[in-house]
Structure 1
């Protein structure tokens, strides 16, 4: 199944404890329908020190995956929106459902 959201897209969380936060997509996990969003759903992780890799031990904060249904893609002109598709020549492009503006092209 292809996803409407790709890496480096701007998204807004529409459900959950981080509702209303916006961030950039860091990673997409299509098998699990989840994405990593920058500074959203931060968790604390215990890290063991590793002198060979210059890693100090302690408690580190990192992003946890969030389900795709809980985020909406942000259109630059009209805000959070759903995504449509249309063909421009031979290429399939993503389109904002509110204003019809073409979003960044979907990479295959």
Structure 2
């Protein structure tokens, strides 16, 4: 299957997402903050990143912007997974470079389906 990087500072969310995506056959790695996540994207070139918005050291919007600005990783698919739920938040996420957006709380089954959809398209 695909390589997926989860970048989320909440260990429970990261573990839940990791477990679900591994169960459906993806190769999964986890990072706990934006700077570590960006470094992992540069290093491993994952097929998709599941990215939290509010994290220490670098937030998800900044990670998106950096990814889109770097030619070697600019085509990386990014799914923003966040508690931010306002229409303006959705617009900011897409403007920063996110390809998809899911709100917390979420259904693990819906998340896995969304990941598969993004990887197929």
Greater gyration radius: 1
For CA contacts below 8 A with separation 6 or more, give which structure has more relative contact order. Answer: 2
Higher strand proportion, which one? 1
TM-score by length of 2: 0.22
Higher helix proportion, which one? 2
